[in-house]
Structure 1
Amino acid sequence: MNKDSKIYVAGHRGLVGSAIVRNLESKGYTNIIKRTHKELDLTNQEAVRKFFEEERPEYVFLAAAKVGGIHANNTYPADFIYENLMIQNNVIKAAHDFKVKKLLFLGSTCIYPKMAPQPIKEEYLLSGYLEPTNEAYAIAKIAGLKMCQFFKRQYGDNFISCMPTNLYGPNDNFDLNNSHVMPALIRKFHEAKVNNLPYVEVWGTGKPLREFLYVDDMADACVFLMENYDGEEHVNIGTGQEVSIRELAEMIKEVVGFEGELVFNTEKPDGTPRKLTDVTKLHSLGWRHKVELGEGIEKTYKWFVENYK
């Protein structure tokens, strides 16, 4: 990519897309195309094709997606599979038809089997059953990854894919009904502190192990891959480090300054017991994360306090 290359970031207002825009701008890229959902409905094929025909982007970061935590995925599976498949199909096909130079598709490590060996290597994809609570989202993301591979294989399109681990940071979704564990806990602890509540409830046993990547690190890895990687196989993006949900809750409690108790609701689902990415491939390409978990939680909480209403 050149500094004046026409770059379309799909989903530029979300957690992932906004971080990619920040990263591109910090590196001096000046010709970034953005469209809000109101301006361009990516589930509408005709609208997407018209946009690509008029704008002719050279590079595409496909970060737009319908996302959510266990509750949202479990409650609205039809919405998750339909909307994500439509977005992916429309953008990837338009990128092919209008001869985009390169496209990066962003998936998620939830594409891997629930009981995949740990840490999870890229080749473990489709080697076992998926986690039922986010199966719809995972199937959509697998389809997008495969679509990029097949367009590359059949037509020679330079479409690549990456699978980030659990992300957090500025512009995250802090809604308690459909957010991921990190932003949900940040909001719970903050509101408990403000309202002088005696305890905070954490879903599940606290035993599952999770890996967390600060979203600005993820964005840096995405731009790095766009600039340096052309392979057919997808690439994991993560830290290669993990923490239990209990440890995470205790870290957030300390950062927020909540002095009450932690209560674990064991009637709520835990989800996948462990999900750690093998980032050997990413490291071999020359990229490593910079922001450690404690620092990332502090940055995210600061953003939440300053921006969330």
Structure 2
Amino acid sequence: MESKSQAGPMRVLVTGGSGLVGKAIEHVVQQEGGKVDGEEWIFLSSKDADLVDVGQTRAVFEKYRPTHVIHLAAKVGGLYLHMRENLQFLRDNIKINDNVLHTAHEMGVTKVVSCLSSCIFPDKTTYPIDETMIHNGPPHDSNFGYSHAKRMIDVQNRAYFQQYGHCYTAVIPTNVVGPFDNFNIENGHVLSALINKTHEAKKEGTPLNVCGTGAPRRQFIYSLDLGRLIVWVLREYEEVEPIILSVGEEEEISIKDAVDMIAEALDFEGKIHFDTTLSDGQMKKTASNAKLRRYLPDFSFTPLKEAIKMTCSWFEINYDKARI
């Protein structure tokens, strides 16, 4: 990898560093010995710079002079917000990604690892989906603006490689669960929103209302597992082609099963009601982790039940400062 031949230790700038994945990477680097002597890691939050603005993006790069970038920042929301504001999500994310990648190029950054999303997968496809299939047809209608903006990072990475030989790459995690997420019921990630909803229902003694049928199936990865894998990608993965970071397809479970795990973790014993009048979104997005397994055959994923238990426990302990 280029960083090994580079003079001096890495200085890594992590955009979106205060979010779910950024906090997981910070934990891996600071608490799990993921950091090499002399390295600097800078975790940016939206308070440090508005990356939609090219001037602010440039200023933050000039301040920290990174040799490497992990790009996690995005304008993101829940299913229903995306359905209402596809144009806004498209425009803001195109600007963020272009500003980060082009500023990295202008400032001579050695390597950029960007984080895509499993919602970029084509809506009509065969399963399991792999890295070669992400542009084979339009994404699901519900968040097509965000999805197309995220897909464009892959297009830009190829173009930076073709024109300048840069090692800019991307990871595609499946659904992530873990501490420090946005637990907002309206626009948090699916499990985090459900954790907050279940917590509320338990507190109020009311039934738990779940949007949709509970039938959609998802692969969930624990945020700390994802953090460990992204640090590995930064250090070891030399392809420009993206890599899916996910548990195996046999680990895919229904939202209903995930709700049961949350109820158990939070000792919720009330009624669970599925509101079938509301949209389910995409029914499945089964992803293959075969490419990851070729590189890391022995990587051990945290079982989902355990990941949910740890996330629920973190949420209860940190309720006052959690994003809700």
Would you call these one fold, judging by a TM-score over 0.5?
A: yes
CA deviation map 1:164-190 (0-9, x unaligned): 100010111111111121011111111
Give the equivalent residue in structure 2 for 1:21.
Answer: 26
- Structure 2 residue 121 is matched with structure 1 residue 112: yes
Mapping of residues 86-235 of structure 1, within 5 Å: 86-197=95-206, 199-235=207-243
Instruction: Measure, in 2, the Cα distance between the counterparts of 1:35 and 1:278.
Output: 31
Instruction: Letter of the 1:208 partner, please give it.
Output: P
SS of the residue 2:294 aligns to? helix
CA deviation map 1:98-157 (0-9, x unaligned): 110111010001111112211111111121231111111100100112111210121101
Instruction: Measure, in 2, the Cα distance between the counterparts of 1:35 and 1:162.
Output: 19
Q: Say what the alpha-carbon RMSD is for the aligned residues.
A: 1.5
> Is the Cα contact below 8 Å between 2:22 and 2:43 reproduced in 1?
no
- Structure 2 residue 282 is matched with structure 1 residue 282: no
Superposed displacement of residue 50, structure 1: 2.6
- Greater mean deviation of Cα atoms: 148-157 or 294-303: 148-157
Residue of 45, 56, 61 corresponding to 2:65: 56
Instruction: Measure, in 2, the Cα distance between the counterparts of 1:264 and 1:123.
Output: 36
- Structure 2 residue 319 is matched with structure 1 residue 308: yes
> Is the Cα contact below 8 Å between 2:195 and 2:262 reproduced in 1?
yes
SS of the residue 2:135 aligns to? coil
- Structure 2 residue 307 is matched with structure 1 residue 299: no
CA deviation map 1:8-59 (0-9, x unaligned): 0111101111111222223134411233322211111112123223421001
> Is the Cα contact below 8 Å between 1:9 and 1:17 reproduced in 2?
yes
SS of the residue 2:193 aligns to? helix
Instruction: Letter of the 1:272 partner, please give it.
Output: Q
Give the equivalent residue in structure 2 for 1:245.
Answer: 255
> Unpaired runs of 5+ in structure 1?
none
Instruction: Letter of the 1:257 partner, please give it.
Output: D
Report percent identity of matched pairs: 34
Superposed displacement of residue 307, structure 1: 1.0
> Is the Cα contact below 8 Å between 2:198 and 2:263 reproduced in 1?
yes
Instruction: Letter of the 1:18 partner, please give it.
Output: K
> Is the Cα contact below 8 Å between 1:12 and 1:36 reproduced in 2?
yes
Superposed displacement of residue 265, structure 1: 0.6
SS of the residue 2:215 aligns to? coil
Instruction: Measure, in 2, the Cα distance between the counterparts of 1:190 and 1:38.
Output: 29
> Is the Cα contact below 8 Å between 1:9 and 1:21 reproduced in 2?
no
Give the equivalent residue in structure 1 for 2:264.
Answer: 254
With normalisation by structure 2, the TM-score equals 0.91
> Is the Cα contact below 8 Å between 1:19 and 1:216 reproduced in 2?
yes
Instruction: Measure, in 2, the Cα distance between the counterparts of 1:73 and 1:297.
Output: 25
SS of the residue 2:259 aligns to? helix
Superposed displacement of residue 289, structure 1: 4.3
> Unpaired runs of 5+ in structure 2?
none
Give the equivalent residue in structure 2 for 1:6.
Answer: 11
